[in-house]
A and B are shown apart, each in its own frame.
Chain A
Amino acid sequence: MGILKTLWHRLGSPRWFFHMMAPWQTWLGGLALLLLLTGSFWGLVYAPQDYQQSHSFRIIYVHVPTVIVAQSVYMALGVSGFVLLVWRMKLADVALKAMVPFGMAMTALGLFTGAVWGRPTWGTWWEWTDARLISTLILLFLYFGLYALRESIASAEAAGRACAVLAIVGLVNIPIIKYSVEWWTTLHQGETLSMTGIKMPAEMYIPLLINILGMYCLFGYVVIARMRNEILRRERETNWVAAWLRGDGRTGMESMSEH
Protein backbone atom coordinates (compact mmCIF):
# COMPACT_ATOMS: atom_id res chain seq x y z
CA MET A 1 0.00 0.00 0.00
CA GLY A 2 2.80 2.36 0.93
CA ILE A 3 4.36 2.10 -2.50
CA LEU A 4 1.04 2.74 -4.20
CA LYS A 5 0.39 5.75 -2.03
CA THR A 6 3.80 7.21 -2.84
CA LEU A 7 3.19 6.55 -6.52
CA TRP A 8 -0.19 8.26 -6.30
CA HIS A 9 1.36 11.36 -4.74
CA ARG A 10 4.19 11.39 -7.25
CA LEU A 11 1.65 11.33 -10.08
CA GLY A 12 0.68 14.79 -8.87
CA SER A 13 3.92 16.04 -10.40
CA PRO A 14 3.91 16.26 -14.20
CA ARG A 15 7.69 16.68 -14.06
CA TRP A 16 8.15 13.37 -12.28
CA PHE A 17 5.90 11.68 -14.83
CA PHE A 18 7.82 13.23 -17.71
CA HIS A 19 11.13 11.81 -16.54
CA MET A 20 9.83 8.48 -15.24
CA MET A 21 7.96 7.68 -18.43
CA ALA A 22 10.87 8.29 -20.82
CA PRO A 23 12.11 4.66 -20.68
CA TRP A 24 8.51 3.37 -20.66
CA GLN A 25 7.85 5.26 -23.85
CA THR A 26 10.86 3.69 -25.56
CA TRP A 27 10.11 0.16 -24.36
CA LEU A 28 6.40 0.27 -25.10
CA GLY A 29 7.10 1.69 -28.55
CA GLY A 30 9.61 -1.08 -29.31
CA LEU A 31 7.33 -3.75 -27.92
CA ALA A 32 4.38 -2.45 -29.92
CA LEU A 33 6.41 -2.54 -33.11
CA LEU A 34 7.68 -6.05 -32.38
CA LEU A 35 4.29 -7.48 -31.41
CA LEU A 36 2.36 -5.84 -34.23
CA LEU A 37 4.90 -6.96 -36.83
CA THR A 38 4.95 -10.53 -35.47
CA GLY A 39 1.18 -10.77 -35.12
CA SER A 40 0.50 -9.22 -38.50
CA PHE A 41 3.02 -11.35 -40.37
CA TRP A 42 1.79 -14.49 -38.65
CA GLY A 43 -1.85 -13.58 -39.16
CA LEU A 44 -1.61 -12.31 -42.70
CA VAL A 45 0.87 -14.80 -44.11
CA TYR A 46 1.04 -18.00 -42.06
CA ALA A 47 -2.36 -18.42 -40.41
CA PRO A 48 -4.58 -20.89 -42.30
CA GLN A 49 -7.37 -19.41 -44.35
CA ASP A 50 -10.96 -19.62 -43.20
CA TYR A 51 -12.91 -22.34 -44.97
CA GLN A 52 -15.89 -20.03 -45.54
CA GLN A 53 -14.33 -16.61 -45.89
CA SER A 54 -10.98 -17.68 -47.37
CA HIS A 55 -8.49 -14.80 -47.09
CA SER A 56 -10.90 -11.97 -46.34
CA PHE A 57 -11.17 -13.00 -42.69
CA ARG A 58 -7.57 -11.86 -42.20
CA ILE A 59 -8.67 -8.29 -41.70
CA ILE A 60 -9.73 -9.27 -38.19
CA TYR A 61 -6.05 -9.08 -37.30
CA VAL A 62 -6.33 -5.33 -37.76
CA HIS A 63 -10.02 -4.81 -37.08
CA VAL A 64 -10.52 -6.57 -33.75
CA PRO A 65 -7.50 -5.01 -31.99
CA THR A 66 -8.43 -1.48 -33.09
CA VAL A 67 -12.04 -1.80 -31.94
CA ILE A 68 -11.08 -3.34 -28.59
CA VAL A 69 -8.54 -0.59 -27.94
CA ALA A 70 -11.02 2.09 -29.10
CA GLN A 71 -13.44 0.96 -26.39
CA SER A 72 -10.71 0.67 -23.76
CA VAL A 73 -9.62 4.23 -24.51
CA TYR A 74 -13.09 5.52 -23.69
CA MET A 75 -13.05 3.66 -20.36
CA ALA A 76 -9.66 5.17 -19.62
CA LEU A 77 -11.13 8.59 -20.48
CA GLY A 78 -13.93 8.10 -17.98
CA VAL A 79 -11.47 7.05 -15.27
CA SER A 80 -9.16 10.00 -16.02
CA GLY A 81 -12.14 12.32 -15.92
CA PHE A 82 -13.16 10.98 -12.53
CA VAL A 83 -9.61 11.39 -11.17
CA LEU A 84 -9.46 14.93 -12.55
CA LEU A 85 -12.75 16.00 -10.98
CA VAL A 86 -12.22 14.33 -7.61
CA TRP A 87 -8.49 14.87 -6.96
CA ARG A 88 -7.86 17.72 -9.41
CA MET A 89 -4.80 15.92 -10.66
CA LYS A 90 -3.21 17.91 -13.50
CA LEU A 91 -1.85 14.78 -15.07
CA ALA A 92 -5.37 13.38 -15.50
CA ASP A 93 -6.23 16.35 -17.68
CA VAL A 94 -3.08 15.82 -19.72
CA ALA A 95 -4.10 12.16 -20.14
CA LEU A 96 -7.64 13.16 -21.18
CA LYS A 97 -6.32 15.48 -23.83
CA ALA A 98 -3.76 12.97 -25.07
CA MET A 99 -6.17 10.05 -25.38
CA VAL A 100 -9.10 11.60 -27.26
CA PRO A 101 -7.49 11.85 -30.74
CA PHE A 102 -6.01 8.35 -30.40
CA GLY A 103 -9.37 6.86 -29.44
CA MET A 104 -11.04 8.74 -32.25
CA ALA A 105 -8.51 7.44 -34.78
CA MET A 106 -8.85 3.86 -33.53
CA THR A 107 -12.66 4.02 -33.70
CA ALA A 108 -12.55 5.42 -37.23
CA LEU A 109 -10.03 2.75 -38.26
CA GLY A 110 -12.20 0.09 -36.66
CA LEU A 111 -15.24 1.28 -38.61
CA PHE A 112 -13.26 1.44 -41.84
CA THR A 113 -11.76 -2.04 -41.48
CA GLY A 114 -15.17 -3.36 -40.48
CA ALA A 115 -16.66 -1.96 -43.67
CA VAL A 116 -13.84 -3.40 -45.76
CA TRP A 117 -14.45 -6.79 -44.15
CA GLY A 118 -18.21 -6.48 -44.57
CA ARG A 119 -18.04 -5.89 -48.32
CA PRO A 120 -16.86 -9.39 -49.38
CA THR A 121 -18.43 -11.18 -46.41
CA TRP A 122 -21.89 -9.63 -46.04
CA GLY A 123 -21.99 -8.11 -49.52
CA THR A 124 -22.37 -4.62 -48.11
CA TRP A 125 -20.10 -1.89 -46.76
CA TRP A 126 -22.51 -0.93 -44.05
CA GLU A 127 -25.31 -2.79 -42.34
CA TRP A 128 -27.75 -0.86 -40.18
CA THR A 129 -28.99 -4.03 -38.59
CA ASP A 130 -25.74 -4.89 -36.85
CA ALA A 131 -25.58 -3.66 -33.29
CA ARG A 132 -21.80 -3.49 -33.07
CA LEU A 133 -21.46 -1.32 -36.16
CA ILE A 134 -23.95 1.19 -34.80
CA SER A 135 -22.49 1.20 -31.29
CA THR A 136 -19.05 1.85 -32.74
CA LEU A 137 -20.41 4.66 -34.87
CA ILE A 138 -22.00 6.23 -31.78
CA LEU A 139 -18.69 5.84 -29.96
CA LEU A 140 -17.06 7.82 -32.77
CA PHE A 141 -19.62 10.61 -32.25
CA LEU A 142 -18.90 10.61 -28.52
CA TYR A 143 -15.21 11.11 -29.34
CA PHE A 144 -16.10 13.92 -31.77
CA GLY A 145 -18.09 15.57 -28.98
CA LEU A 146 -15.18 15.42 -26.54
CA TYR A 147 -12.81 16.82 -29.13
CA ALA A 148 -15.18 19.62 -30.16
CA LEU A 149 -15.90 20.59 -26.56
CA ARG A 150 -12.22 21.02 -25.75
CA GLU A 151 -11.68 23.02 -28.92
CA SER A 152 -14.49 25.43 -28.14
CA ILE A 153 -13.59 26.40 -24.57
CA ALA A 154 -10.90 29.01 -24.34
CA SER A 155 -9.50 28.28 -20.86
CA ALA A 156 -7.46 25.07 -20.91
CA GLU A 157 -8.30 24.18 -17.34
CA ALA A 158 -12.04 24.68 -17.78
CA ALA A 159 -11.94 22.76 -21.06
CA GLY A 160 -10.29 19.82 -19.32
CA ARG A 161 -12.86 19.67 -16.54
CA ALA A 162 -15.78 20.10 -18.95
CA CYS A 163 -14.40 17.17 -20.97
CA ALA A 164 -14.09 15.17 -17.74
CA VAL A 165 -17.79 15.68 -16.97
CA LEU A 166 -18.72 14.74 -20.53
CA ALA A 167 -16.49 11.65 -20.48
CA ILE A 168 -18.12 10.43 -17.26
CA VAL A 169 -21.64 11.10 -18.55
CA GLY A 170 -20.70 9.26 -21.74
CA LEU A 171 -19.28 6.31 -19.82
CA VAL A 172 -22.48 6.00 -17.76
CA ASN A 173 -24.48 6.13 -20.99
CA ILE A 174 -22.50 3.64 -23.04
CA PRO A 175 -24.08 0.48 -21.54
CA ILE A 176 -27.56 1.98 -22.04
CA ILE A 177 -26.75 2.94 -25.63
CA LYS A 178 -25.36 -0.53 -26.29
CA TYR A 179 -28.41 -2.20 -24.82
CA SER A 180 -30.86 0.00 -26.72
CA VAL A 181 -29.04 -0.55 -30.01
CA GLU A 182 -29.06 -4.31 -29.45
CA TRP A 183 -32.77 -4.16 -28.68
CA TRP A 184 -33.33 -2.16 -31.84
CA THR A 185 -31.42 -4.60 -34.03
CA THR A 186 -33.23 -7.64 -32.67
CA LEU A 187 -36.46 -5.96 -33.78
CA HIS A 188 -35.18 -5.48 -37.32
CA GLN A 189 -32.66 -8.18 -37.92
CA GLY A 190 -33.43 -10.84 -40.49
CA GLU A 191 -30.38 -13.01 -40.14
CA THR A 192 -27.61 -12.99 -37.61
CA LEU A 193 -24.44 -11.59 -39.07
CA SER A 194 -21.88 -12.69 -36.58
CA MET A 195 -18.15 -12.60 -36.55
CA THR A 196 -17.69 -13.83 -33.01
CA GLY A 197 -19.48 -17.06 -33.88
CA ILE A 198 -16.40 -18.27 -35.76
CA LYS A 199 -14.63 -20.99 -33.87
CA MET A 200 -10.98 -20.30 -34.29
CA PRO A 201 -8.15 -22.81 -34.06
CA ALA A 202 -5.08 -21.80 -32.09
CA GLU A 203 -2.96 -20.94 -35.13
CA MET A 204 -5.63 -18.38 -36.02
CA TYR A 205 -6.27 -16.79 -32.65
CA ILE A 206 -2.74 -16.64 -31.25
CA PRO A 207 -1.64 -14.02 -33.82
CA LEU A 208 -4.87 -12.17 -33.00
CA LEU A 209 -3.95 -12.13 -29.32
CA ILE A 210 -0.45 -10.92 -30.19
CA ASN A 211 -1.90 -8.07 -32.24
CA ILE A 212 -4.35 -7.09 -29.49
CA LEU A 213 -1.47 -6.96 -27.02
CA GLY A 214 0.59 -5.01 -29.56
CA MET A 215 -2.22 -2.53 -30.04
CA TYR A 216 -2.42 -1.96 -26.29
CA CYS A 217 1.33 -1.32 -26.26
CA LEU A 218 0.85 1.13 -29.12
CA PHE A 219 -1.89 2.81 -27.09
CA GLY A 220 0.53 3.11 -24.16
CA TYR A 221 3.29 4.41 -26.38
CA VAL A 222 1.18 7.00 -28.19
CA VAL A 223 -0.50 8.26 -25.04
CA ILE A 224 2.75 8.54 -23.09
CA ALA A 225 4.45 10.31 -25.99
CA ARG A 226 1.55 12.73 -26.37
CA MET A 227 1.33 13.29 -22.63
CA ARG A 228 5.03 14.06 -22.38
CA ASN A 229 4.75 16.54 -25.24
CA GLU A 230 1.76 18.16 -23.61
CA ILE A 231 3.63 18.41 -20.29
CA LEU A 232 6.53 20.13 -22.04
CA ARG A 233 4.12 22.54 -23.68
CA ARG A 234 2.27 23.35 -20.47
CA GLU A 235 5.38 23.69 -18.31
CA ARG A 236 7.45 25.50 -20.94
CA GLU A 237 7.95 28.47 -18.61
CA THR A 238 9.57 26.39 -15.86
CA ASN A 239 13.26 25.91 -15.12
CA TRP A 240 13.28 22.16 -15.38
CA VAL A 241 11.99 22.23 -18.94
CA ALA A 242 14.65 24.78 -19.83
CA ALA A 243 17.28 22.55 -18.21
CA TRP A 244 15.99 19.49 -20.00
CA LEU A 245 16.00 21.29 -23.32
CA ARG A 246 19.62 22.34 -22.74
CA GLY A 247 20.38 18.65 -22.59
CA ASP A 248 21.04 18.12 -18.88
CA GLY A 249 17.68 16.52 -18.23
CA ARG A 250 19.20 14.00 -15.81
CA THR A 251 20.16 16.73 -13.40
CA GLY A 252 16.56 17.80 -13.38
CA MET A 253 15.60 14.61 -11.58
CA GLU A 254 18.49 14.77 -9.14
CA SER A 255 17.70 18.28 -8.04
CA MET A 256 14.17 17.09 -7.48
CA SER A 257 15.14 14.38 -4.99
CA GLU A 258 17.02 16.94 -2.91
CA HIS A 259 13.77 18.58 -1.87
Chain B
Amino acid sequence: MSVFTGQLGRELRLAARSRSDVLNPLVFLLLAITLFALALDGKPEVLREHAAGILWVLVLLTNMLALDGMFRRDFDDGSLEQLLLAVDAVPFAMLAKLLVQWLVTGLIIVLLSPLLGMVLNLPAAVLGTLALVLLAGTPAVSFIGAIGAALTTGARRGGALLALLVLPLLIPVLIFGVSAINRALADEPPRAELYWLGALSVTSLMLSPFATQAGLKIALEQ
Protein backbone atom coordinates (compact mmCIF):
# COMPACT_ATOMS: atom_id res chain seq x y z
CA MET B 1 0.00 0.00 0.00
CA SER B 2 2.85 2.40 0.74
CA VAL B 3 3.85 2.07 -2.91
CA PHE B 4 0.37 3.18 -3.87
CA THR B 5 0.11 6.11 -1.45
CA GLY B 6 3.67 7.24 -2.10
CA GLN B 7 3.14 7.26 -5.82
CA LEU B 8 -0.24 8.94 -5.41
CA GLY B 9 1.31 11.76 -3.38
CA ARG B 10 4.10 12.23 -5.91
CA GLU B 11 1.75 12.32 -8.86
CA LEU B 12 -0.60 14.78 -7.16
CA ARG B 13 2.29 17.08 -6.29
CA LEU B 14 3.56 16.90 -9.86
CA ALA B 15 0.11 17.69 -11.22
CA ALA B 16 -0.23 20.65 -8.87
CA ARG B 17 3.14 21.99 -9.98
CA SER B 18 2.61 21.63 -13.71
CA ARG B 19 -0.63 23.48 -13.92
CA SER B 20 -0.48 24.24 -17.63
CA ASP B 21 -0.27 20.53 -18.48
CA VAL B 22 -3.50 20.03 -16.57
CA LEU B 23 -5.26 23.17 -17.73
CA ASN B 24 -4.41 23.27 -21.43
CA PRO B 25 -6.57 20.27 -22.43
CA LEU B 26 -9.46 21.67 -20.41
CA VAL B 27 -9.14 25.05 -22.08
CA PHE B 28 -9.14 23.16 -25.38
CA LEU B 29 -12.43 21.55 -24.34
CA LEU B 30 -14.03 24.92 -23.55
CA LEU B 31 -12.68 26.43 -26.75
CA ALA B 32 -13.88 23.53 -28.90
CA ILE B 33 -17.38 23.73 -27.42
CA THR B 34 -17.39 27.44 -28.19
CA LEU B 35 -16.40 26.63 -31.76
CA PHE B 36 -19.29 24.19 -32.04
CA ALA B 37 -21.72 26.75 -30.67
CA LEU B 38 -20.51 29.27 -33.23
CA ALA B 39 -20.42 26.78 -36.10
CA LEU B 40 -23.99 25.73 -35.39
CA ASP B 41 -25.06 29.40 -35.47
CA GLY B 42 -25.80 29.32 -31.76
CA LYS B 43 -29.30 27.96 -32.41
CA PRO B 44 -30.47 26.69 -28.99
CA GLU B 45 -32.58 23.80 -30.26
CA VAL B 46 -29.87 22.59 -32.66
CA LEU B 47 -27.28 22.71 -29.87
CA ARG B 48 -29.51 20.80 -27.49
CA GLU B 49 -30.26 18.15 -30.07
CA HIS B 50 -26.56 17.47 -30.70
CA ALA B 51 -25.27 18.26 -27.21
CA ALA B 52 -24.67 14.63 -26.17
CA GLY B 53 -22.65 13.77 -29.25
CA ILE B 54 -20.64 17.01 -29.28
CA LEU B 55 -19.83 16.73 -25.60
CA TRP B 56 -18.70 13.12 -25.65
CA VAL B 57 -16.59 13.44 -28.79
CA LEU B 58 -14.88 16.50 -27.31
CA VAL B 59 -14.38 14.75 -23.97
CA LEU B 60 -12.65 11.90 -25.81
CA LEU B 61 -10.45 14.30 -27.80
CA THR B 62 -9.59 16.31 -24.68
CA ASN B 63 -8.50 13.09 -23.02
CA MET B 64 -6.31 12.25 -26.01
CA LEU B 65 -4.50 15.57 -25.49
CA ALA B 66 -4.19 15.01 -21.75
CA LEU B 67 -3.00 11.41 -22.12
CA ASP B 68 -0.32 12.23 -24.67
CA GLY B 69 2.16 13.47 -22.10
CA MET B 70 1.13 11.08 -19.34
CA PHE B 71 4.38 9.12 -19.17
CA ARG B 72 6.63 11.22 -21.38
CA ARG B 73 8.18 13.42 -18.71
CA ASP B 74 8.88 10.47 -16.39
CA PHE B 75 10.28 8.61 -19.38
CA ASP B 76 12.56 11.48 -20.40
CA ASP B 77 14.03 12.19 -16.97
CA GLY B 78 14.55 8.50 -16.17
CA SER B 79 12.24 8.29 -13.18
CA LEU B 80 10.00 5.86 -15.03
CA GLU B 81 12.87 3.42 -15.40
CA GLN B 82 13.70 3.78 -11.71
CA LEU B 83 10.09 3.13 -10.82
CA LEU B 84 9.83 -0.04 -12.91
CA LEU B 85 13.17 -1.31 -11.64
CA ALA B 86 12.89 -0.44 -7.99
CA VAL B 87 9.33 -1.21 -7.08
CA ASP B 88 8.17 -4.81 -6.94
CA ALA B 89 4.50 -3.82 -6.81
CA VAL B 90 4.53 -1.87 -10.06
CA PRO B 91 0.81 -2.35 -10.79
CA PHE B 92 0.01 -0.43 -7.59
CA ALA B 93 2.19 2.46 -8.70
CA MET B 94 0.47 2.31 -12.08
CA LEU B 95 -2.90 2.36 -10.32
CA ALA B 96 -1.89 5.59 -8.58
CA LYS B 97 -0.80 7.11 -11.88
CA LEU B 98 -4.07 6.13 -13.54
CA LEU B 99 -6.17 7.54 -10.73
CA VAL B 100 -4.32 10.87 -10.78
CA GLN B 101 -4.66 10.99 -14.56
CA TRP B 102 -8.42 10.67 -14.13
CA LEU B 103 -8.52 13.17 -11.24
CA VAL B 104 -6.86 15.89 -13.30
CA THR B 105 -8.93 15.36 -16.46
CA GLY B 106 -12.06 13.25 -15.95
CA LEU B 107 -13.03 14.58 -12.55
CA ILE B 108 -12.45 18.19 -13.57
CA ILE B 109 -14.61 17.62 -16.65
CA VAL B 110 -17.31 16.22 -14.35
CA LEU B 111 -17.07 19.32 -12.17
CA LEU B 112 -17.21 21.55 -15.26
CA SER B 113 -20.10 19.61 -16.78
CA PRO B 114 -22.94 21.89 -15.54
CA LEU B 115 -21.22 24.78 -17.28
CA LEU B 116 -20.63 22.73 -20.44
CA GLY B 117 -24.24 21.58 -20.38
CA MET B 118 -25.49 25.13 -20.07
CA VAL B 119 -23.32 26.30 -22.96
CA LEU B 120 -24.90 23.55 -25.06
CA ASN B 121 -28.33 24.61 -23.85
CA LEU B 122 -29.22 21.44 -21.96
CA PRO B 123 -32.18 21.87 -19.59
CA ALA B 124 -31.24 22.24 -15.92
CA ALA B 125 -33.03 19.02 -15.01
CA VAL B 126 -30.56 16.99 -17.09
CA LEU B 127 -27.38 18.55 -15.70
CA GLY B 128 -27.28 16.22 -12.69
CA THR B 129 -27.57 13.16 -14.92
CA LEU B 130 -24.95 14.61 -17.23
CA ALA B 131 -22.47 14.84 -14.37
CA LEU B 132 -23.32 11.30 -13.27
CA VAL B 133 -22.86 9.91 -16.81
CA LEU B 134 -19.48 11.62 -17.12
CA LEU B 135 -18.51 10.39 -13.67
CA ALA B 136 -19.30 6.82 -14.71
CA GLY B 137 -17.72 7.02 -18.16
CA THR B 138 -14.58 9.16 -17.96
CA PRO B 139 -12.60 6.73 -15.76
CA ALA B 140 -12.79 4.14 -18.57
CA VAL B 141 -11.50 6.78 -21.01
CA SER B 142 -8.48 7.55 -18.82
CA PHE B 143 -7.72 3.94 -17.95
CA ILE B 144 -8.02 2.47 -21.46
CA GLY B 145 -6.29 5.53 -22.88
CA ALA B 146 -3.37 5.03 -20.50
CA ILE B 147 -2.59 1.70 -22.20
CA GLY B 148 -2.22 3.55 -25.49
CA ALA B 149 -0.17 6.27 -23.82
CA ALA B 150 2.18 3.62 -22.40
CA LEU B 151 2.56 1.88 -25.76
CA THR B 152 3.33 5.14 -27.58
CA THR B 153 5.74 6.47 -24.94
CA GLY B 154 8.75 5.14 -26.80
CA ALA B 155 7.31 5.69 -30.26
CA ARG B 156 8.71 8.25 -32.65
CA ARG B 157 5.43 10.16 -32.81
CA GLY B 158 2.83 10.52 -30.12
CA GLY B 159 -0.38 12.49 -30.62
CA ALA B 160 -2.10 11.17 -33.70
CA LEU B 161 -0.81 7.65 -33.13
CA LEU B 162 -2.23 7.60 -29.60
CA ALA B 163 -5.63 8.68 -30.91
CA LEU B 164 -5.50 6.08 -33.68
CA LEU B 165 -4.79 3.30 -31.17
CA VAL B 166 -7.19 4.35 -28.45
CA LEU B 167 -10.26 5.92 -30.05
CA PRO B 168 -11.54 2.68 -31.65
CA LEU B 169 -11.34 1.03 -28.22
CA LEU B 170 -13.38 3.86 -26.70
CA ILE B 171 -16.33 3.53 -29.06
CA PRO B 172 -18.40 1.61 -26.46
CA VAL B 173 -17.92 4.47 -23.96
CA LEU B 174 -19.03 6.95 -26.61
CA ILE B 175 -22.09 4.92 -27.55
CA PHE B 176 -23.32 4.34 -23.99
CA GLY B 177 -22.41 7.87 -22.91
CA VAL B 178 -24.30 9.57 -25.73
CA SER B 179 -27.24 7.21 -25.38
CA ALA B 180 -27.43 7.93 -21.62
CA ILE B 181 -27.62 11.70 -22.09
CA ASN B 182 -30.17 11.39 -24.89
CA ARG B 183 -32.28 9.12 -22.73
CA ALA B 184 -32.13 11.64 -19.91
CA LEU B 185 -33.26 14.32 -22.39
CA ALA B 186 -36.27 12.12 -23.17
CA ASP B 187 -37.11 12.01 -19.44
CA GLU B 188 -36.11 8.39 -18.96
CA PRO B 189 -33.63 7.25 -16.32
CA PRO B 190 -30.53 5.96 -18.21
CA ARG B 191 -29.93 3.04 -15.87
CA ALA B 192 -28.68 0.43 -18.33
CA GLU B 193 -26.18 2.87 -19.86
CA LEU B 194 -24.90 3.92 -16.45
CA TYR B 195 -24.40 0.30 -15.43
CA TRP B 196 -22.50 -0.33 -18.64
CA LEU B 197 -20.29 2.73 -18.25
CA GLY B 198 -19.61 1.81 -14.63
CA ALA B 199 -18.78 -1.76 -15.61
CA LEU B 200 -16.40 -0.55 -18.33
CA SER B 201 -14.69 1.81 -15.87
CA VAL B 202 -14.27 -0.79 -13.15
CA THR B 203 -13.09 -3.49 -15.56
CA SER B 204 -10.57 -1.19 -17.20
CA LEU B 205 -9.35 -0.06 -13.76
CA MET B 206 -8.70 -3.71 -12.98
CA LEU B 207 -6.87 -4.62 -16.20
CA SER B 208 -5.21 -1.39 -17.20
CA PRO B 209 -2.42 -1.30 -14.55
CA PHE B 210 -1.03 -4.57 -15.90
CA ALA B 211 -1.32 -3.62 -19.56
CA THR B 212 0.19 -0.20 -18.82
CA GLN B 213 3.09 -1.81 -17.01
CA ALA B 214 3.68 -4.15 -19.95
CA GLY B 215 3.56 -1.23 -22.38
CA LEU B 216 6.01 0.87 -20.38
CA LYS B 217 8.44 -2.04 -20.01
CA ILE B 218 8.49 -2.39 -23.79
CA ALA B 219 9.03 1.36 -24.18
CA LEU B 220 11.99 1.22 -21.81
CA GLU B 221 13.63 -1.72 -23.57
CA GLN B 222 14.26 0.28 -26.73
Question: Could you say which residues of chain B place their CB within 8 Å of the CB of A166?
Answer: 151, 165
Question: Could you say which residues of chain B place their CB within 8 Å of the CB of A155?
Answer: 221-222
Beta-carbon nearest neighbor of A152 in chain B: B155
Is A20 an interface position by the 8 A CB rule? no
Question: Could you say which residues of chain A place their CB within 8 Å of the CB of B167?
Answer: 141
Provide the main secondary structure of the chain A interface: helix
Is A133 an interface position by the 8 A CB rule? no
- The reply to whether B161 and A149 contact each other, CB–CB distance below 8 Å, is yes
Is B111 an interface position by the 8 A CB rule? no
Interface residues of A (CB under 8 A from B): 85, 138, 141-142, 144-145, 148-149, 152-155, 157-158, 161-162, 165-166, 168-170, 172-173, 176-177, 179-181, 183-184, 187
Shortest distance from the beta carbon of A257 to any chain B beta carbon, whole Å? 34
- The reply to whether A176 and B219 contact each other, CB–CB distance below 8 Å, is no
The number of chain B residues touching the other chain, given as a range, is 20 to 34
- The reply to whether A141 and B168 contact each other, CB–CB distance below 8 Å, is yes
Question: Could you say which residues of chain A place their CB within 8 Å of the CB of B164?
Answer: 141, 144-145, 148
Selected interface stretch from B72-80, B81-89, B210-218: B210-218
Beta-carbon nearest neighbor of B199 in chain A: A176
Shortest distance from the beta carbon of A188 to any chain B beta carbon, whole Å? 10
CB-CB contacts below 8 Å: B143-166 with A: 144, 147, 151-152, 154-157, 161, 164-165
CB-CB contacts below 8 Å: B110-166 with A: 144, 147, 151-152, 154-157, 161, 164-165
The 4 A-B pairs with the shortest beta carbon distances in the complex, nearest first, are: A180-B172, A141-B168, A152-B155, A145-B165
Given A144-B164, A165-B147: A158 in contact with B219 (beta carbons within 8 A): yes
B15-39 interface mask toward A, CB cutoff 8 Å, 1 = contact, 0 = none? 0000000000000000000000000
